[in-house]
Amino acid sequence: MRALIAPPHVDLPDGTLDDDAVDALYAHDGELLRLSFVSTLDGAATGGDGVSGSINTEADGRGYRAMGRAADVVLVGAGTARAEEYGSRSTPLVVVSRRGELPESVREGDGTVVLATVAASGVPEGEHVWHVGQDEVDLATLVQRCRAAFGPHVLCEGGPSLAGDLVAAGLVDELGLSWAPSLVVGSPDDHPRILRGPAAEVALEPVHLLEEDGTLVGLWRVRR
């Protein structure tokens, strides 16, 4: 992996970047809400089988794992956790479901898992169940509870609706996005974009851009 764009404050080795160098690029102190996505060059967030795993590359995986190591907690929608068959992981996982449904693969995995839902779901609140709204998820409350419980650095891995709502609410600080060198032709219903939700226009500025075997691995910061 090589750096095409890199921040001046990160001291990178010449030539190929090892995992320590990639970790340094994603490191962050203090509060941060970062999104993590991969897409094809034509903007599809999923492959022909309807999940993102089929468009992942080794380079994208290196960026994905580095963002996971940097985060204090991972936030994900229940639909994405179910489709991508989320399981055991070392970083605490908060799964968002307005209906109060925790995917089976997550229930069977190890590690710290919290279900974030609404009071109207009927699921009793407890140590591993948070009510973050009455009928609709209060995103600001959700992010605050993630930070209070686990730490300031929150990584959201989708899906498109949860991430889009976070962007529209003005809660997102950075976007980590990889472009896989492939095309997946089809309708937006079959292959959604990385974000879906209320209309919002957000300006970004590049932090870094890496390349390996045709995959571009980038990080952008929201302009405040």
* Cα dihedral 19/24/180/65 (nearest 10): 60
Question: Encoding tokens for residue 136?
Answer: 């609709």
Asked if residue 186 has pLDDT above 90, the reply is: no
Q: How confident is the model at residue 199 (pLDDT cuts 50, 70, 90)?
A: very high
Q: How confident is the model at residue 108 (pLDDT cuts 50, 70, 90)?
A: confident
Please report the pLDDT score of residue 15 as a whole number: 86
Give the chain's domains with CATH numbers.
55-154+166-212 (3.40.430.10)
Please report the pLDDT score of residue 216 as a whole number: 98
Please report the pLDDT score of residue 3 as a whole number: 96
Please report the pLDDT score of residue 120 as a whole number: 98
Q: How confident is the model at residue 84 (pLDDT cuts 50, 70, 90)?
A: very high
Q: How confident is the model at residue 57 (pLDDT cuts 50, 70, 90)?
A: very high
* 32-40 sheet: strands from edge to edge: 2-5, 204-212, 215-222, 174-180, 32-40, 153-156, 73-77, 93-96, 113-117, 129-131
In this prediction, residues 14-33 reach a mean pLDDT of 95
Question: Encoding tokens for residue 133?
Answer: 């709204």
